[in-house]
Structures are given as structure tokens and as C-alpha cells.
Amino acid sequence: MALLDIKKYPARVLKQKAVPVEKIDDELQQLIDDMIETMYAAPGVGLAAPQVGISKRLAVIDISMREETVPLLVLINPVILSQEGEIEFEEGCLSVPDYTAKVKRAESLVISALDRSGQQVEIETGGLLSIAVQHELDHLDGILFIDRLSPIRREFFKKKYKKKQKTED
């Protein structure tokens, strides 16, 4: 296994719509293992393939550090079947370091995806897992949580972020 390099905003790959995974082969299994290791090392509760520079519809999620009973999820070509309610939560992202903001999302979801063995699964999620799933699915469509902020707050973020990058240079 290997740690992968996490792409940071404003990397272009983060803005691209990812393409469906077509083959679940050894290469993909390797990528999944590397993504899981990279997520744990960061540490983070989720990681989507575009965040490691691979524009494919694949994400790994593990919120067990917050909610112990929820297992590690590997989602290949995930689709939202239905969603309900509204929840607001302070989100962060490994690709947008040192910044968090409140984002509104659906409170509960039903999704369909392939697991890493290629089996079609349907998953019902609520609360934190539902937020994590929506955040990662957004990555597959080239959307970051900062894109979900109001225009004013997004401008504020951009200014703050640019300033921070300048001080680091």
C-alpha cells in the first residue's frame, strides 16, 4: 500500500466531473486500498478519487471515529435514489485545508452503488453518514463544499485562502 498525494484547491482535477468506473480489477483494488490508507493517515472521514488526481467515480468513507457502529464504505459509481429533510453541519475537506464552514444538505438519503467486489448495494443513510456521502458524491461531480456556500461567504473564503497562500509562499 502507498500513501497518495492529496490534491488541494484550486487543483483542476477537483473541478472535473469524474467518469464511471468500468472495470473492477486489481489496479482498482490497489487504488481503493491506497485511498483508504491515505484517508486514515490524513486523518479524514472520507476521500474521493478526484482528490488523489484520479477522475473516477469512486469514494471511501469511514466515520467510525465519530460514530463507532458505522463500517467503512467503498462506493463505486454511487447514485442518489432519494433524499429527504435538511441538516446543517460544519464541514471541512482534505482538499481545502484549514477551512470549515456550515453547509446545508439532505438529512437522509438512499443511495445505490457497487461495493469493491462489484456487488450492487443499496444504502440508507442519515445524519453524519448522509453528510459524508453527499460531500464525497459532490467531489465526483467536481463540486467542493465551498461551492455550496452563499456567494458572499464564498468570496470571503477566497480572499482568506489567497491571503493564507501568500503568507506561506
Write out the H or E segment, with its range, that includes residue 24: none
Phi and psi (nearest 5°) for 136?
-70, -40
- Calculate the CA dihedral of residues 150, 133, 75, 19 and round it to 10 degrees: -10
C-alpha cell at position 167: 503568507
Determine which residue in the list 73, 75, 93, 129 makes contact with Ni ion, applying CB under 5 A: 93
Check residue 131 for interaction with Ni ion (CB under 5 A). Answer: no
Closest approach, Cβ 117 to Ni ion, in A, equals 25
Helices and strands per DSSP (H, E), number in the chain: 3, 7
Closest approach, Cβ 104 to Ni ion, in A, equals 16
Q: Which is nearer to Ni ion, 25 or 147 (CB)?
A: 147
Q: Which is nearer to Ni ion, 96 or 114 (CB)?
A: 96
Check residue 132 for interaction with Ni ion (CB under 5 A). Answer: no
For 71, 127, 145, the CA distances from 120, given in Å and listed in that order, are: 17, 23, 27
Check residue 35 for interaction with Ni ion (CB under 5 A). Answer: no
136 is catalytic: yes
Total chain residues near Ni ion (CB under 5 A): 1
Which residues are known to be catalytic?
Answer: 136
Interface with Ni ion (CB under 5 A): 93
